[in-house]
Amino acid sequence: MSTREPGSRSCPICGKPQQSIYRPFCSARCQTIDLARWIGGNYRVPAVEEEPSSDDDGKIS
């Protein structure tokens, strides 16, 4: 048996092991994300920005 602390859970945001100072999250970033969800569902957190898919308009025959 490994020395696991009782009540060790995973971050509800990303699933990583939570840190005691940020619990129940793993980092301040996930803490902010969860907070933002509380503030408003429409609020978007600029944490993960998806790149716009470029049009595949360069076909080589």
Q: Which residues bind Zn ion (CB under 5 A)?
A: 11, 13-14, 16, 26, 30
Considering beta carbons, is residue 1 or 48 the nearer one to Zn ion?
48
End-to-end CA distance of the chain: 61
User: What is the DSSP secondary structure assignment for residue 35, as one 8-state letter?
Assistant: H
Considering beta carbons, is residue 14 or 36 the nearer one to Zn ion?
14
Q: Rounded distance, CA 54 to CA 51, Å?
A: 9
How many CB atoms are closer than 10 A to CB 2? Answer: 3
Considering beta carbons, is residue 15 or 43 the nearer one to Zn ion?
15
Smallest gap from residue 10 Cβ to Zn ion (A): 8
